[in-house]
């Protein structure tokens, strides 16, 4: 299980193993569906983990990293299945190990993980007050609850999930539905640049002191 002293850093939900630099008190928790960076990866690659680790250390926060059962998230292919159970359980188990500010809980993801984050994030807006989608492909169909704030980023030269077919279509649709959407476009391809990750952390308020 989680070590009792777990704090800022990355925690793998599949192994419940704390990664380096996880010390001190956390100011927020973000379940981060990271699979889908590429088919068959089954998780985050080293470069992406390095970006997350940098953000976690800089903002003294805990980032929970669930891992899909297959090559990508089941909600992306065949509808929600076992992966959604992992997402449901992970925050509650983490609450027992990490000091979490309940007002600053978010769900985020990249690529397929971003699409998957939008589904449970909008369906559980009463739990996840913030939803971050880095280069999403679509929004899974699900009943929605609450009014979470949303941040979507996308590279204008993305060849994998072209922005014209994705974010440029559903960002206006979300805004018309009444959601508060922050939309960040950047001059790059299918990636999460470090400056975009930092802007997302600042948008979450991770640079502010923890509540209480």
What is the pLDDT at residue 37? Answer: 28
Calculate what percentage of the chain has a pLDDT beyond 70.
Answer: 56
Query: Does the predicted TM-score (pTM) go above 0.85?
Result: no
Residue ranges of the domains in the chain? Answer: 9-204
Query: Are the C-beta atoms of 148 and 125 separated by less than 8 Å?
Result: yes
What is the pLDDT at residue 177? Answer: 95
Task: State both tokens at 136.
Answer: 């999403």
Nearest-angstrom CA–CA distance, 189 and 192: 9
Q: Report the range out of 36-50, 63-77, 91-105, 151-165 with the highest average pLDDT.
A: 151-165
What is the chain's alpha carbon radius of gyration, rounded to the nearest angstrom?
Answer: 16
Query: Are the C-beta atoms of 186 and 156 separated by less than 8 Å?
Result: yes
Nearest-angstrom CA–CA distance, 176 and 138: 17
Of 22, 19, 100, 32, residue with least CA distance to 64: 32
Task: State both tokens at 210.
Answer: 């923890």
Query: Are the C-beta atoms of 35 and 113 separated by less than 8 Å?
Result: yes
Q: Which residue has the higher pLDDT, 191 or 71?
A: 191
Superfamily grouping for domain 9-204: Alpha/Beta hydrolase fold, catalytic domain (3.40.50.1820)
């Amino acid at each position: 299980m989680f070590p009792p002293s777990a704090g800022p850093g990355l925690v793998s939900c599949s192994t419940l193993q704390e990664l380096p630099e996880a010390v001190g008190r956390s100011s927020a928790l973000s379940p981060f569906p990271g699979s889908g960076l590429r088919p068959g990866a089954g998780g985050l690659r080293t470069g992406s983990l390095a970006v997350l680790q940098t953000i976690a250390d800089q903002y003294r926060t805990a980032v929970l990293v669930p891992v899909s059962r297959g090559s990508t998230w089941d909600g992306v292919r065949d509808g929600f299945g076992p992966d959604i159970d992992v997402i449901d359980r992970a925050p509650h188990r983490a609450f027992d190990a990490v000091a979490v500010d309940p007002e600053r809980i978010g769900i985020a993801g990249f690529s397929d993980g971003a699409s998957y984050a939008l589904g449970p994030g909008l369906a559980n807006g009463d739990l996840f007050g913030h939803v971050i989608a880095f280069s999403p492909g679509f929004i899974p169909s699900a009943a929605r609850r609450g009014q979470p704030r949303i941040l979507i980023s996308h590279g204008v030269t993305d060849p994998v999930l072209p922005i014209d077919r994705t974010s440029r279509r559903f960002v206006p649709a979300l805004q018309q539905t009444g959601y508060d959407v922050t939309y960040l476009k950047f001059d790059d391809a299918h990636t999460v640049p470090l400056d975009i990750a930092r802007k997302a952390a600042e948008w979450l308020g991770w640079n502010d002191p923890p509540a209480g």
